[in-house]
Amino acid sequence: MKTLIAYVSTHHRNTHILARSMAAHIGADTIDLLADGGPSKEEILSYDLLGLGSGIYALRHHRALLRFAASLPRERAGKCFVFSTRGFGRPDLYHRALHRKIRRRGWEVLGDFSCRGFDTFGPLAILGGINRGRPDGEDLQRARDFLRSIVDEAAQRSERSTR
Ligand SMILES: Cc1cc2nc3c(=O)[nH]c(=O)nc-3n(C[C@H](O)[C@H](O)[C@H](O)COP(=O)(O)O)c2cc1C
């Protein structure tokens, strides 16, 4: 299953660590949307599965990731998964805005993953931050298990659709 993981990670590179670890597990390609720029439509369409993730900033994914989702090619109803690292709070709420953008392009979200990430935003810096050392080994293992189940699901769906 040819997979591309597109991410944004600006605060402590927490999401970068997560994205790279997931990618290494299944041999996926990664693209850092801020450092590398967005992939072309043709590049995106050459993948079977797309991952989209970032840290959570003010209750939602990074705006560059939201913009990327809003420009997904409509030529195909692609399959994707969504992930994040966060300081605290509810990922189901934080992921809503990204889900909406993806759905509007006719793409399907197969699943979501989120874990804690080191956070020194604002007054948290005075306290030395929260979630030091996260994502940790356990987080990365959970993410890899999640990804394996998503890849299996995507493979089953494409098998069904070609029957
Ligand atoms: C400007 C800013 C706003 C943030 N807002 C939230 C938030 O609303 N909810 C939350 O759980 N974490 C929030 N965080 C914490 C980050 O989501 C967390 O540290 C994340 O792991 C950062 O990922 P990154 O290192 O990949 O950028 C915020 C951090 C920053 C810098």
3-state secondary structure 81-130: EEEEEECCCCHHHHCHHHHHHHHHCCCEEEEEEEEECCECCHHHHCCCCE
Cα(97) to ligand 1 centroid in Å equals 15
Which of 116, 121, 124, 127 to mutate to test ligand 1, by most ligand atoms within 8 A of the CB atom?
121
Render each residue's pLDDT in the chain as its tens digit; 163 residues.
999 999 999 999 999 999 999 999 999 999 999 999 999 999 999 999 999 999 999 999 999 999 999 999 999 899 999 999 999 999 999 999 999 999 999 999 999 999 999 999 998 888 899 999 999 999 999 999 999 999 999 999 888 877 7
| Distance (Å, whole) CA 119 – CA 58 | 13
CATH of 3-162, one of 3.30.750.200, 3.40.640.10, 3.30.530.20, 3.40.50.360: 3.40.50.360
Atom of ligand 1 minimally distant from the CA of 10: 27
**d(CA 78, ligand 1 centre) in Å:** 28
51 touches 39 (CB < 8 A): no
pLDDT of 39-86, one tens digit each?
Answer: 999 999 999 999 999 999 999 999 999 999 999 999 989 999 999 999
Average pLDDT across the chain, whole number: 96
Q: What was the pLDDT predicted at 126? A: 84
Task: Report which ligand 1 atom has the smallest distance to the Cα of 62.
Answer: 27
The pLDDT score that the predictor gives to residue 111 is 98
pTM of the full structure: 0.97
CA–CA dist 18, 114 (Å, integer): 10
Q: What residue's CA is closest to ligand 1, atom 16?
A: 86
